[in-house]
Amino acid sequence: MRAGIGLREVAQRAGVSMRTVSNVVRGTGRFSEATQARVLRAVEELGYRPNTAARRLRTGRSGVLLLAVPELTMPYFAELAGHLLREAAEHGCILLVEATGGDPEVELEIALGRTDPLVDGVILSPLALDDRAAARAGATAPVVLLGERVHDLPCPHVTIDNTGAARAATVHLLARGRRRIAVIGRQTVPHAATSATRLAGYRQALEQAGLRYDEELAPPVAAYHRADGAAAARLLLDLPEPPDAVFCFADALAQGALHAARERGLTVPDDLAVVGFDDVEEARYTAPPLTTVAPDKPELARLAVSALLDRIGGRTAPPVLPAGHRLVVRDSS
């Protein structure tokens, strides 16, 4: 960011008034989409950042939001953070990003608003948040929740239909003639909502097809990293009757499964069909390109930021805000 960049420089670059720049940055007033685009382009080109201290003195708010996710090294969270950063900027807000490591104490502190005092509100994707502890302490800042787990907290929750998405992925494999379909992603730890909701969809599809759920085809994993996917796939391929397909609860797990298949000299999808979940950018460039469930990440970001700004402004937001998803079929299945 260059020193001395203010509203005047942005207005000159965009060819609009300083008031218009202020309105666009704060998300107030009336302006056309073309004007908004010019202002935001000038903001990005000049590296302008609003003076949060001055804004807080003037309005009582800083325009600073916080996103807290378990891991930024996971491609899904990194991509979602990018969408949320852009969405926050569209509303004239700055988004800070923090990785919690899935630590329940860290998640609780964030849920209670015990963060940087400049932060107006929080978008939190928790893994192990203790709802009872949060409810007893009482939240002190507006919070919007992301993720698969249904929380017993008075906060808007933005999510997709994970069970329906997993069911559709499994039905896709069944329609391809696969009958011994394994899953990678089952977890046995508390609050494993991603595992529970996606496993439920997989089991529903099997039941509808008249197939029995076999836990031997659902090895547990500790985490959703490539190494976990490869290790689970090796276990499955060592079975006396190995699977002819595998549905992975994250694209990183699927990438590990593809690696294990290559190690064994198997051809995907002829010997083993593979489906993932998340549609991260890498999914298009695996060998072969990965069939995967694509959550609507831009919509997740739009809903989360909009709900949080409603809460900050004292307006109500629906308790559950569903975003869409679709199955992207590529060469791995």
Strand, helix or coil for residue 200: helix
Whether 204 and 163 have beta carbons less than 8 Å apart is answered as: yes
Maximum separation of any 2 CA atoms in the chain, in Å = 72
Residue 57: its pLDDT value, please?
Answer: 42
Say whether the peptide bond before residue 269 is cis (omega within 30 degrees of 0): yes
Q: Which of 122-126, 169-173, 282-286 has the lowest mean pLDDT?
A: 122-126
pLDDT at 200 exceeding the cut of 70: yes
Q: Where in the chain is the domain with CATH 1.10.260.40?
A: 7-49
Of 34-38, 54-58, 61-65, 181-185, where does the model show the most confidence?
A: 181-185
Residue 50: its pLDDT value, please?
Answer: 63
Tokens found for residue 303: 């809903």
β-bridge pairing 325-328 and 291-295 = antiparallel
Confidence band of 186 (pLDDT split at 50, 70, 90) = very high
Could you say which of 3.40.50.720, 3.40.50.1220, 3.40.50.1100, 3.40.50.2300 is the CATH number of the domain covering 60-159+297-323? 3.40.50.2300
Is pLDDT larger for residue 149 or for residue 98? Answer: 98
Could you say which of 3.30.1280.10, 1.10.260.40, 1.10.579.10, 1.20.1090.10 is the CATH number of the domain covering 7-49? 1.10.260.40
Confidence band of 274 (pLDDT split at 50, 70, 90) = very high
**Of all residues in the chain, what percent carry a pLDDT higher than 90?**
55
Phi, psi of 81 (to 5 degrees): -60, -40
**Of all residues in the chain, what percent carry a pLDDT higher than 70?**
89
- Taking residues 113-120, what's their average pLDDT? 77
Compute the distance between CA of residue 305 and CA of residue 310 in angstroms, rounded to an integer.
9
Q: Where in the chain is the domain with CATH 3.40.50.2300?
A: 60-159+297-323, 162-295
Compute the distance between CA of residue 224 and CA of residue 172 in angstroms, rounded to an integer.
22
pLDDT in tens, 65-90: 899 999 888 899 999 999 999 898 88
Compute the distance between CA of residue 324 and CA of residue 107 in angstroms, rounded to an integer.
26
Superfamily of domain 162-295: Response regulator (3.40.50.2300)
pLDDT at 48 exceeding the cut of 60: yes
**Whole-prediction pTM:** 0.80
Compute the distance between CA of residue 154 and CA of residue 259 in angstroms, rounded to an integer.
43
Residue 1: its pLDDT value, please?
Answer: 41
Residue 52: its pLDDT value, please?
Answer: 52
Q: Which residues contact 227 (CB under 8 A, 6 or more apart)?
A: 256
Residue 192: its pLDDT value, please?
Answer: 84
Residue 82: its pLDDT value, please?
Answer: 92
Cross-strand partners of 64: 94, 119
The half-sphere exposure of 327 on its side-chain side, counting CA atoms within 13 A, is 20
Q: Which residues contact 215 (CB under 8 A, 6 or more apart)?
A: none
Is pLDDT larger for residue 133 or for residue 238? Answer: 238
